[in-house]
């Protein structure tokens, strides 16, 4: 268990199963801080094939969308590319929740031509 910005988090290290997946993902491993209570990912570090830190994603703010189902959306995110020395920040000032037809997410619907 680790503390990140006042949040008790699980520290989870992930590595792709195959070199094909490493190539597809563009990194050799990632380390994520996952909130112990809400399971929200607060930060993820991505490491290249030489073990060097290449990117950082910080999910800085979340908005609860559905109280009953515990659904959240990231409303403020900061991303940094350490190799290219570039960064971006995404801020969502307004979030609207609309109903979605659950049939859209069935195999039958997705296989329609």
Pairing of strands 71-81, 53-66: antiparallel
CATH number (domain holding residue 44): 2.50.20.10
Task: Determine the pLDDT at residue 53.
Answer: 97
Confidence of residue 46 (pLDDT cuts 50, 70, 90): very high
Domain count, the chain: 1
pTM, two decimals, is 0.81
Task: Determine the pLDDT at residue 113.
Answer: 67
The closest of 31, 49, 41 to 9, measured between CA atoms, is 41
Task: Determine the pLDDT at residue 15.
Answer: 94
Distances (CA, A) of 35 to 13, 19, 39, 58, 68: 14, 29, 5, 13, 19
49-98 confidence digits (pLDDT tens): 999 999 999 999 999 988 777 789 999 999 999 999 999 999 999 988 77
Q: Which domain holds residue 26?
A: 2-110
The closest of 84, 25, 28, 89 to 57, measured between CA atoms, is 89
């Amino acid at each position: 268990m680790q503390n990140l910005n006042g949040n008790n988090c699980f520290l989870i290290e992930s590595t792709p199963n195959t070199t094909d997946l490493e190539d597809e993902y563009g990194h050799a491993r990632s380390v994520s801080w996952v909130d112990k209570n809400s399971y929200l990912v607060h930060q993820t570090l991505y490491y290249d094939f030489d073990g060097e830190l290449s990117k950082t994603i910080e999910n800085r703010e979340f908005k609860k969308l559905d109280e009953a189902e515990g659904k959240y959306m990231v409303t403020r995110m900061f991303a940094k590319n350490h190799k290219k020395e570039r960064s971006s920040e995404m801020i969502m000032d307004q979030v609207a929740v609309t109903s979605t037809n659950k049939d859209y997410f069935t195999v039958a619907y997705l296989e329609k031509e």
